[in-house]
Amino acid sequence: MFSIIQAAGWPIWPLIGCSVLALALVIERFISLKTSKVAPPRLLDEVLTVSRNGIPSTDMVAQLERNSALGEVLASGFRALNSNPRCSEADLRATMEGSGRLVAHRLERYLSALATIASAAPLMGLFGTIVGMIEIFGSQSPGSGSTGGNPAQLAQGISIALYNTAFGLIIAIPALIFWRYFRAQVDGHLLTLELASERLVRHLNAMRQSP
């Protein structure tokens, strides 16, 4: 491996840095976007059951807020009613939508960085290719009268060009795949949060209107 890095020349080091960063982002997103951390499947039903007889206590709302991203959005609705029991449905929805936007921002964190790596890695590989081409042309011997050149320098230029091109694509393709995967995962989680919020709003309004 070290021999490949050595043959690829100095342009390979920024690509190695990008590969390490991309790997770290992928691992972090896999951990942060787990369903159990974002939207546990049975959480909404449990919240609806607990709140059937009234608004949960402040301690229960705080515990719900720490449970997951979905819990944070649902807890914002309970907090709005605790602070103003007569708040309108529009105000309740606005409060939960604001909490949802904050959660969405956290869910989308680092995705732009991963997309940037996917876009920039081929360009960085192309830059290494250009450096390799410069090495190839530099291996020629103008004025010597021969059509050859320095074979070692020629081989080094070819190595720099090919290795950097390949390494740039090796980084960009998985980064693009994971970016699309995480993007779809975030969209799915946001849809789940939106539907759960709508169910809770209807539940709370029905509970307040009941005699």
pLDDT band at 142 (very low <50, low <70, confident <90, very high): low
pLDDT band at 144 (very low <50, low <70, confident <90, very high): very low
Instruction: Give the range of the structural domain holding residue 143, as residue numbers without chain letter.
Output: 2-209
pLDDT tens per residue across span 187-202: 999 999 999 999 999 9
pLDDT tens per residue across span 13-62: 888 899 999 999 999 999 999 999 999 999 999 999 888 888 888 888 89
Q: Which residue has the tokens 């939207």?
A: 39
Q: What is this structure's pTM?
A: 0.82
CB-based contact 40:70 (threshold 8 Å): yes
Residue type, 176: L
Q: Alpha carbon of 14 to those of 7, 17, 19, 24, 69: distances in Å?
A: 15, 5, 9, 15, 35
* Count of structural domains within the chain: 1
For helices 43-50 and 58-67, give the axis angle rounded to 10 degrees. 170
pLDDT at 128: 81
Tell me which residue of 96, 102, 98 sits closest to 75, measured CA to CA. 96
Q: Is the pLDDT of residue 100 over 90?
A: yes
- Averaged confidence pLDDT in the chain: 85
pLDDT at 107: 94
Beta bridge partners of 140: 149
